[in-house]
Amino acid sequence: MNGKTIFRAGLAGLVLSAAGSAIAQDDPGLSWSYLEGGLSHIDVDGDGETGFNVRGAAQLAEHFYLHGAWDRWEVDTIFGDEDIDLIKLGLGFRTAVTATSDLFVEASYAELELLGASTDGLRTDVGVRAAFGDRIDGRVFGGVQTDAFDEFEGILGADVAFGLTDRLGLVLSAETYEFDAEIYRVNLRLSF
């Protein structure tokens, strides 16, 4: 089973779980069920490409949630235009630290596909998400990702979400892979 099939199955599960969470949501704190999408820009050693991304999460129980992400960029190669896909799908655990902040840990399957070849591995992230008033929340995280060659790569990231309405928001995010590759995203988010 390839990464795209796993991602599609996971995304379908996220949508169904998010719909269930929208009905069962009784936690007045941060929402861990959302769907979002928008522009994604990758910069690798000064060469940049803009594409799109889709992300989502669905709270399963008080402390657990599913999450998934897909970024796609088109790059010029000697073989013509080729797509780069970055896929992540996993399970998260979150617990309240204060009334307005959560500590989270995520374990994910991650895959990078380029020129018909792919490398996949495991990714682990640890971070804090906090609300800064009724309409702004953000998170910071650090993590590590392995690949098929058992090489480890450090990851740092942050994002901030601005609530436009109770359910619709604008999300700005940045992520770096050991400062060799940076990914910037501008998304619209629908929270449940």
- DSSP letter for each residue of 82-114: EEEEEEEEEEEEEEEEETTEEEEEEEEEEEEEE
SS3 assignment, position 3? helix
168-177 and 34-44 beta bridge pairing: unpaired
* pLDDT of res. 148: 62
Model confidence, pTM: 0.81
SS3 assignment, position 152? strand
Q: What is the rounded CA–CA span in Å between residue 36 and residue 69?
A: 9
* pLDDT of res. 44: 82
* pLDDT of res. 7: 47
Q: Which residues contact 5 (CB under 8 A, 6 or more apart)?
A: none
Q: DSSP H helical segments within 25-142, as ranges?
A: none
Average pLDDT over the chain, rounded to an integer = 85
pLDDT in tens, 99-129: 999 999 999 999 988 767 778 899 999 999 9
> What residue type is assigned to position 116 of the chain?
G
